[in-house]
Structure 1
Amino acid sequence: MMSCQAWPEPVVRVQSLAESGLSSIPSRYIRPHSQRPSNTTSLAPHKPSQADYDHDHGHNHDHDHDHINIPVVDFEHLFSEDYILREEVFRRVDEACQEWGFFQVVNHGVSHELMKSARELWREFFNQPLEVKEEYANSPTTYEGYGSRLGVHKGATLDWSDYFFLHYMPPSLRNQAKWPTFPPSLRKVIAEYSEGVVKLGGRVLNVMSTNLGLKEDFLLNAFGGESELGACLRVNFYPKCPQPDLTLGLSPHSDPGGMTILLPDDFVSGLQVRKGDEWITVKPVPNAFIINIGDQIQVLSNAIYKSVEHRVIVNSNQDRVSLAMFYNPRSDLLIEPAKELVTKEKPALYSPMTYDEYRLYIRLNGPCGKAQVESLASQT
């Protein structure tokens, strides 16, 4: 499927660059003026507190930068016998999906210890000597393994990050030989963590389907069902950077897949979400996952729910680690707006396309805003 077998130029590990003690970053990482994070320097690393959680949990905020945050939804009452409590969970998810395309979820059923050990073990992996990590070096044909760039265009501006990418679902794509053997418990934790997060994804899809007025299992089935859906994990490592105001850890993009379930760094903020013309820095709530809508749910919902651009900023005094689980349709299924959501007044906005065809564009070009999903809207 991929025409590109190898990276177009030697791959540089950003972590090694950062650790070499350089005081200015190579030009390959410097973004054009218009794309630089304007107020990065004033964004001190933020350690979330219970007060943040209480604050974000029940109040509408003034729209100033220090207080605004993406919605937080408590899943505690998702299966409650109490209709009113349960409906409130559904309503909050629906509102977040329509207004933000992003929300944080607490009481989600994944063990906090498991979340913590997944993050710590991956941090330990990235702190291994380079030759240990290079054994897992990836290529553009699969992306699976240890990597430092996404697009394959020669001379592209690069992001200030390294990553590790692996397939978890469907089980036929799971290749444990490509999962790191160090730290020794990492493989076991990857499997347990991935299983828990994929289950959570199924619950979230049920809520979204119901909110869209579809059968509860509509989205899950559109993705291929429980045993055939696609799920892959990308662990992001954002090294500290001597000139954080000139670069980005991850370029602005909307996620090409179905939905993303992110375990953010619990000490350092970095994720920014686009809201109108502003970039809002997400303050992670303790033990929460950040969930966002990808392009495939935008297509399936006929743009009732939209994927939203986001990016990652870096800072000069702390590394960041985050774990993104991409929850995707099986790659060969046609994705198109749900028939129930297409009417004379609101015709289908997108033509049918498989996730594989969709993804090829991004593999060649790297992350590029929302250019892709917008270019697909049927020209009617």
Structure 2
Amino acid sequence: MEKAKLMKLGNGMEIPSVQELAKLTLAEIPSRYVCTDENLLLPMGASVINDHETIPVIDIENLLSPEPVIGKLELDRLHSSCKEWGFFQVVNHGVDASLVDSVKSEIQGFFNLSMDEKTKYEQEDGDVEGFGQGFIASEDQTLDWADIFMMFTLPLHLRKPHLFSKLPVPLRETIESYSSEMKKLSMVLFNKMEKALQVQAAEIKGMSEVFKDGTQAMRMNYYPPCPQPNLAIGLTSHSDFGGLTILLQINEVEGLQIKREGTWILVKPLPNAFVVNVGDILEIMTNGIYHSVDHRAVVNSTNERLSIATFHDPSLESVIGPISSLITPETPALFKSGSTYGDLVEECKTRKLDGKSFLDSMRM
């Protein structure tokens, strides 16, 4: 029987490329991809509430409007979205449509490269950046039905010389421009969140700089068709680790689901929109006012799905904990303080994705 080519992970393991597996037209998926969690065995549609349950939509033009009433209404909508959902879409965001189209085209092109070309970017020893899969903690862990390519993009000194600078020139230049636009959009949202939270003025500069001078990473996701989609998962259920994640859907295939009140809801990306979600670190910093949310990616039997997630996180030197002005006698600190973001990143490199387990470990 023909075998799929292997890709080397930073922890020394070798696993098949799922994109290559899908080319073998298998009748059954390999056992390492079969989920054992009963919650993951439901058909895609069976665990979705209904078509009427949708995540909120934030209009960035309204959020930045000079008209006080319009701006205040959208700010209140942003605040309630972060408190009650932890997920929302942004429209009228100002990112040029031609750049977005280029991002989509170049990422599709990357995954269309030969396996020999893609493995030039494979993960190095002890690292999670590069082409492969992330958060593989053991040889017996269930694998996601996906190939990913992840790398740090900001600050510049964190860029790995064997990754970003070696990308095909059109992809590299496109990602450079996209990185800048995502940073601008994230800072608009962080600054407006500060205002909505009524963070005391003396702290606003410090909180802003946690993210202004923070890290940015990108993860390109490729989910090929799966012969047994009800037995596999594209991306294991988890909450994101950092501050804010901005997701761009590359093609028209749906698959992102969020968990709300114990039920999975399918996210349906709007045209010319980004999907944004709150991460664990932002939940910690807001002392639980904003909430990170379990989400996952499901697969199907006929169509590939592609996306790119851009993570906006604190600087590695930032000390993480609840913002002091959000701690009161009525709202005491819910989370521990004292660890740097860099230390927490190193800790999480050895963890497998598992719901909100990291956040739970940070609770008082």
Tell whether the structures are fold-level matches, with TM greater than 0.5.
Answer: yes
Matched residues, number: 355
Deviation at 1:78, TM superposition (A): 2.4
Match for residue 315 of structure 1 among 300, 304, 307 = 300
Contact 1:147 1:164 in 2 (8 A): yes
Match of 2:309 in 1: 324
Hey, what's the Cα distance between the residues in 1 that align with 2:166 and 2:112?
14
Hey, what's the Cα distance between the residues in 2 that align with 1:183 and 1:306?
38
Q: Secondary structure at the match of 1:186?
A: helix
Contact 2:191 2:208 in 1 (8 A): no
Matched, 1:13 2:13: no
Q: Secondary structure at the match of 2:216?
A: strand
Moved more, 307-316 or 256-265: 256-265
Unmatched 5+ residue regions in structure 1?
Answer: 44-62
Match of 1:355 in 2: 341
Match of 2:119 in 1: 134
Moved more, 170-179 or 133-142: 170-179
Deviation at 1:108, TM superposition (A): 0.8
Match of 2:218 in 1: 233
Match of 1:376 in 2: 362
String of CA shifts for 1:146-199, please: whole Å, max 9, x gaps: 112422322111111111111111121124541275654111000001100111
Hey, what's the Cα distance between the residues in 1 that align with 2:280 and 2:95?
25
Q: In the TM superposition, what are the counterparts of 1:1-380 in structure 2 within 5 Å?
A: 6-40=10-44, 64-139=49-124, 141-175=126-160, 177-179=162-164, 183-215=168-200, 221-222=206-207, 224-225=209-210, 228-352=213-337, 353-378=339-364
Hey, what's the Cα distance between the residues in 2 that align with 1:361 and 1:107?
37
Contact 1:41 1:245 in 2 (8 A): no
Deviation at 1:345, TM superposition (A): 1.8
Hey, what's the Cα distance between the residues in 1 that align with 2:188 and 2:169?
31
Moved more, 363-372 or 290-299: 363-372
Q: Secondary structure at the match of 2:121?
A: coil
Unmatched 5+ residue regions in structure 2?
Answer: 1-8
Structure 1 letter corresponding to 2:70: L
Contact 1:223 1:229 in 2 (8 A): no
Identity %: 36
Structure 2 letter corresponding to 1:374: D
Deviation at 1:13, TM superposition (A): 0.7
Hey, what's the Cα distance between the residues in 2 that align with 1:115 and 1:248?
27
Specify whether residues 264 and 344 from structure 1 end up closer, same or farther in structure 2 by C-alpha distance, changes over 3 A only. same
Q: Secondary structure at the match of 2:258?
A: strand
Hey, what's the Cα distance between the residues in 1 that align with 2:97 and 2:249?
13
- Structure 1's consecutive aligned runs of 4 or more residues displaced over 3 angstroms after TM superposition are 180-184, 215-227
Q: Secondary structure at the match of 1:263?
A: strand
Hey, what's the Cα distance between the residues in 2 that align with 1:32 and 1:223?
42
Q: Secondary structure at the match of 1:234?
A: strand
Q: CA RMSD in A?
A: 2.1
Moved more, 24-33 or 146-155: 146-155
Deviation at 1:229, TM superposition (A): 0.8
Hey, what's the Cα distance between the residues in 1 that align with 2:149 and 2:200?
36
Hey, what's the Cα distance between the residues in 1 that align with 2:128 and 2:202?
30
Contact 2:145 2:234 in 1 (8 A): yes
